[in-house]
Chains A and B, each alone.
Chain A
Amino acid sequence: MIFAKLFWAFFKIGAVGFGGGMAIVGMIYDTIRGFVSMTPSQYADIVAIAQVTPGPVAVNTATYVGYQTAGIMGSLVATLGVATPAFILVAIVASMIDRYKQSRIVQGALEGIRPATVGMIFTAALTICRPAIEAEHPLGGSISAISGILPGHIDGIAILMCAATVLLIKKFHVNAMYVLLIMGCIGAVVGV
């Protein structure tokens, strides 16, 4: 039964998963939290890992959530579920690409979902940022406790590292994968 639920949840996500990987990540948590017991913090960890492993973050997250929920079969079902709708749609569109490009209905639909993708990415940001800022185990726990500038449950170091990430990628055009590796290493050194 859990397999059917997982498949259907991820099938729906795959069918309306517009707006790219990060936007889909928010949608995944919104959809699964009804029947999967997973804290925001556990989910944030999964997303953190999903983007540093090779492959698209949305599919990696689906695989991981499936695995956490119901083992290897669960990950298989979740991955199949999220990949199937796009597979069907791409195969259909590939056989009629010119009609697809010229269709007013398609253009209208694509135009229509654009504002929804802003909402999706906004939710994704909240889903990911909340547990990173209010961490159960803040980075460099002892340092932030001593400094006492921020309330104990706010992870000041994570906020600094987030700012560094944005700066390195947007301003200095460092490859996101390198930035992720650097931040992972800093985190391991700073500890919790």
Chain B
Amino acid sequence: MIPILQNIAVNEKKWFTAEEALDVISVCQSLPGVIAINMATYVGFKRKGLLGSLVSTVGVVLPSFVVIILVAKGLSAFGDNPYVMGALGGLRAAAMGLVLIAVYSIAKGVIKDWFSGISSLVGILLIEFTNMSVVLIVLLFLVAGILRALWNTRREGGLK
């Protein structure tokens, strides 16, 4: 989806230069949420302000929303058909493959040294073996990151 958006925004509609587009991608990736939707919001905002971002966000979410509703309705009618159940089983197996690939690529991207390795392990342990909600745990890591940045800044002398 990202290459499609990139192509439309840079080559077809000339909303951004190629360089700006890279900037937008990296920022949208860093924010929470789904990068493709974030990019749509961003483009809408840059072109036509708040209303533009609202329109483009709704535009990018609406088609899949409708499809999901239709599929959900269909499945509640045909859900116990053996072929449908088999297809679902196949998709569950494929989902397992996809999530394992995601585990590998995220871990590879994050774990670079001892510190990141141990903090990742702490993340896994906190999420899996405590009753704290994942939302809260992510917030704790976020605050810890800010404190660490402030601490480093202070040690280097003065806030920038």
Contacts and interface: CB of A to CB of B under 8 A. Distances in A.
Interface of A: 12-27, 30-31, 44-45, 47-56, 58-60, 63-64, 67-68, 72, 75, 79, 82-83, 85-87, 89-91, 93-95, 97, 100-101, 104-105, 107-126, 128-129, 131-133, 135, 137-139, 155, 157-159, 161-166, 169-170, 176, 179-180, 183-192
A169 B125 CA distance: 29
Nearest to A76: B65
Contacts of B146: 105, 108-109, 112
Contact of A89 (B23, B32, B34, B100): B32
**Interface size range of chain B in the complex:** 35 or more
Interface in B53-112: 53-54, 57, 60-61, 63-65, 67-69, 71-72, 75, 82-103, 106-107, 109-111
Q: Which of B96, B126, B128 has the most CB of A within 10 A?
A: B96
Contact of A176 (B63, B98, B153): B98
Interface of B: 1, 23, 27-28, 30-38, 41-42, 45-46, 50, 53-54, 57, 60-61, 63-65, 67-69, 71-72, 75, 82-103, 106-107, 109-111, 116, 119-120, 122-128, 133-135, 137-150, 152-153, 160
B144 A112 contact: yes
